[in-house]
């Protein structure tokens, strides 16, 4: 339990660093750009890659920053590019996805199995489970009417999104981008 508290407090301390806020701003801009390439299939199925910058933020800064960033991005995307009414449950889903990804990725090496596991949890529990619940309440369709299409979409996109995130993180890591982002900010004084 103490280890988990330290893990979250380390992530929360990231908010104090200007580099965190700056990097989040840059990743938010990238998310808006990627969001313009989304494909809407009907009222409740959307395929896009604007969540990729959110997951990079979760990797870099952990669950505390990831939760806040993902929740705020959900609201900002709705303000900038409204696609319907605001559904608080979907903002909660974004928040929870940031929590899951932050817990799996923060201060851990990039591993495909870790990404596949986190993506599967988010796809099944948050997107299919909770997401379908919120959408069924808004659109008035039955949960079990909407769930099969959302399940198929999430299971088809699960390996694609996992591989895309893995490759993105590996390329950024190999190029030294993460090391560069982490090196900015207050430097520890040598005694």
Structure tokens at 64: 């505390």
Read off the DSSP letter of residue 189. Answer: P
- Whether the CB-CB separation of 34 and 73 falls below 8 Å is answered with no
pLDDT of 13 strictly over 50:
yes
List, in order, residues 6 or more apart from 116 with CB less than 8 Å away: 158, 159, 162
Let me know: does 54 contact 165? Beta carbons within 8 Å: no
Task: Please give the distance of CA 38 from its chain centroid, rounded to a whole number.
Answer: 16
Identify the band that residue 187 occupies on the pLDDT scale cut at 50, 70 and 90: low
Overall average pLDDT of the 148-159 stretch: 91
Residue 46, pLDDT score = 65
Q: At what angle do helices 52-80 and 143-174 cross, to 10 degrees?
A: 120
Helices marked H in 14-131 — which ranges? 18-35, 52-80, 88-105, 112-121
pLDDT at position 77 = 87
Distance between CA 125 and CA 130 in Å, rounded? 7
What lies within 8 Å, CB to CB, of 67 at 6+ separation is 95, 96, 98, 99, 102
CA-wise closest residue to 67 among 101, 25, 95: 95
- The model's pLDDT over 16-44, given as tens digits with 9 standing for 90+, comes to 988 899 999 999 999 988 887 777 766 55
Pick the range with the lowest mean pLDDT from 19-28, 74-83, 86-95, 168-177: 74-83
Helix (H, G, I), strand (E, B) or coil at 83: coil
For the chain, the distance separating the N- and C-terminal CA atoms, rounded to the nearest angstrom, is 33
Listed residue (108, 11, 115) closest to 68, CA to CA: 11
Averaged pLDDT of the chain: 88
The number of C-alpha atoms within 13 Å of 103 and in the hemisphere containing its C-beta is 15
Return the residue matching tokens 């992530």: 11
Q: pLDDT value at position 143?
A: 87
Q: With a cut of 90, say whether residue 62 has pLDDT above it.
A: yes
């Amino acid at each position: 339990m103490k280890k988990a508290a330290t893990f979250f407090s380390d992530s929360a301390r990231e908010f104090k660093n200007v580099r965190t806020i700056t990097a989040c701003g840059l990743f938010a801009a990238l998310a808006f750009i990627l969001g313009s390439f989304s494909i809407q299939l009907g009222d409740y199925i959307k395929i896009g890659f604007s969540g990729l910058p959110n997951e990079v933020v979760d990797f870099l800064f952990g669950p505390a920053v990831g939760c806040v960033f993902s929740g705020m991005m959900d609201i900002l995307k709705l303000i900038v590019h409204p696609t319907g009414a605001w559904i608080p449950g979907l903002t909660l889903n974004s928040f929870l996805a940031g929590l899951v990804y932050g817990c799996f990725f923060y201060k851990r090496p990039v591993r495909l199995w870790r990404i596949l596991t986190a993506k599967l949890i988010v796809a099944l529990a948050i997107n299919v489970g909770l997401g379908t619940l919120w959408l069924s309440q808004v659109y008035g369709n039955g949960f079990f009417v909407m769930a099969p299409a959302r399940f198929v979409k999430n299971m088809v996109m699960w390996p694609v999104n996992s591989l895309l995130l893995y490759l993105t993180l590996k390329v950024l890591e190999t190029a030294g981008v993460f090391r560069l982002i982490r090196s900015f900010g207050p430097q520890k004084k040598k005694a």
